[in-house]
Every structure is written in C-alpha cells, then in structure tokens.
Amino acid sequence: MAGSIENMSAVYKKYSYVPPSPPTKLIDSSNFLLDFSSRKFLNIGLDPADKFNTVIHIITPSRFVNISPDFLKRIYRLMGNILSFILDQPQKYKRNLFLDSDSMSISSMVYQGENMLVIESKIQDGCRILLNRSDLLQLQYLEWTIFETVERKTKIIKPLVIQQINQIAAYLKSSVELASRSLEEMTNHVKSINNVFISSHVIGITDYNFTSELQLYAANHIAQRWMEELEKDEEYSEECSKVFSPPTFYSLFDQESQSVISSLSPPSPPSTQSQFVPIWSRAAADENDGPYGPQYTKLLVSKP
C-alpha cells in the first residue's frame, strides 16, 4: 500500500499545475471584453519584447495566449467550421484539430459538458485558453473593430513610439554623463528622469505622448538605444582623428628612411633598345662635304 501511495504522489507531482509566466506589458494597450462573468479579455498593443510589433493577448483568469494579427485572421477564416462544431451536440472523446502550425494549434474538446475551442501555444509552456460558444460569437462580433485597432497601432502608433525612443535617447546622450557605462545603470537612469520635462521639452506638444509608458515598459530599450548612440559617436571621433591627425614622429622617420634608401640604391642599367654611340666614332661634318655628307661627295669625284 505504501508503494502505491508513493507512486501516486510521483504522478501528482508530474501533473501538478504550473502557472505560466505573466504576459508582457503592452504599449498603448486597447482592451476588449469577451465575457465579464468568466473574466475573459482581449488586449491589443505594441510588444516591446517583439520589436514593438502589434500583438494580441487573449486572457482568462488563469492563463493566456499571445497571438499575432495574422494568426487571428486564420482563426476568422475557420470560424464557420469552428462554430458548426461548437454548436453541435457534445460527444465525449471527440477531438478535432482545426489548425496546427509551428507555434500554435487550434483544436476542440469537451469540458463540463460543453464543446470548447482550445487555442494552445507550442513555444510557451502553460499558455492555453478555452473559448465556449458565447466567447466565439463575441469574438466574431468584434472582428472589424479588432482589425481597425491593429491597423492604427501598426501604421500610426508604432512609428511614433520608435521616434520618441530616439528623441529620448538623443537627449540623454547630449545632456547626461555617467561615471560608469553599464546597461543596468543606464536603464535605472531612464526610469528616474522627469517625464514632465521630457514630455514638454524633448517630445513636444503632440496628440500621442508615450513617455510614461516607455519609462515603465521599455526603459531597457531606451538605454540600449542610448548606448548605441554613444558608441556611434566614439567610432566617428576615432575615424576623424585618423583622417585629420598630424603625422607622428614614427611616420616622418619612415618617410626619411625611405628617401635615404632610394638615394643610396645603385642606378638602373641602361636600356638595351637605345645604344650609346661615342662621339669620336661619328664622322666629322664639314661644310665642304655638301648637304649629303662626305660619302656622296667622294662618289661624285670618282666618276670619269
């Protein structure tokens, strides 16, 4: 009996519930309600951990899934088949697989006597949600609103967020000097700056100001950008010093030594094409020889 209890405890430990890590904080998050009684929500925003791309979080009381807008479009394309199965009579041990990709899977199951849609992540442990018939109908009702929000965040909000990160990093580069340059120290400094001053003097008056959210959720990205700007300036100053720096003693010494060595080198041998003819071997030119030389004069004299 003791052995069976130990075996059951081992099985219990193996299948014990492990809560997933909480979802990342999104910039400019928009929330949509699927079901208030069961606490199911849908959040849309820019994910700092995913290069500020627009992502969608479907959140339940204990779990969540992180999906892309393209994957949600694939769900909507299958919505007819999904609803036809969900509205059917529940049958135990019947499971349909609607979609299977490298990162996500969509299937069905029977839970508490009701057909459920299961959306599960393959790359994040414990990220799985169940949606019933009313949840799917509400999701279908919000289709156009969801994709209008995604379009606005992708084409308008994301460029503004990237621009404001660059503005804050440029201000910190020109105005702040650190004793030691480490990413952790720079991140802490980003979190401690006066967001009111940044909003009014650095970002300026605009309809979309994300300074506070960037300090809370993307401080490490601002610090990384700040460090890149400092390194870029250092590389530029090094290149300028190489181009415009005066010649050193060693460079001048090398030039002088090369000139001395070239002056001491033996002269190059004469070319074989042009032969040197001594001046004494040439025939003497006399004005009495005529225009054709002494040879022509001798020939004229020898004729009878």
Give the whole-angstrom CA distance, residue 112 versus residue 92.
11
Give the whole-angstrom CA distance, residue 229 versus residue 166.
9
pLDDT tens-digit map of 118-157: 999 998 888 999 999 999 999 999 999 999 999 999 999 9
DSSP-assigned letter for residue 291? T
Number of structural domains in the chain: 2
Residue 301 in any domain: the answer is no
CA gyration radius, the chain: 42
Residue that has been written with the tokens 């959720």 in this structure: 217
* CA–centroid distance for 103 within its chain: 21
Lowest mean pLDDT among 159-163, 185-189, 298-302: 298-302
Q: Where are the beta strands (DSSP E) in the chain?
A: 27-35, 40-47, 53-59, 64-67, 97-100, 104-111, 114-121, 128-131
Give the mean pLDDT of the chain: 79
Q: What is the pLDDT of residue 148?
A: 97
Residue 12 in any domain: the answer is no
pLDDT tens-digit map of 47-97: 999 999 999 999 999 899 999 999 999 999 999 999 988 888 887 777 888
Same domain, 111 and 161: no
Domain that holds residue 206: 157-243
Q: What is the pLDDT of residue 73?
A: 95
Q: What percentage of the chain reaches a pLDDT higher than 70?
A: 70
Same domain, 235 and 188: yes
Do residues 132 and 114 touch, judged by C-beta distance below 8 A? yes
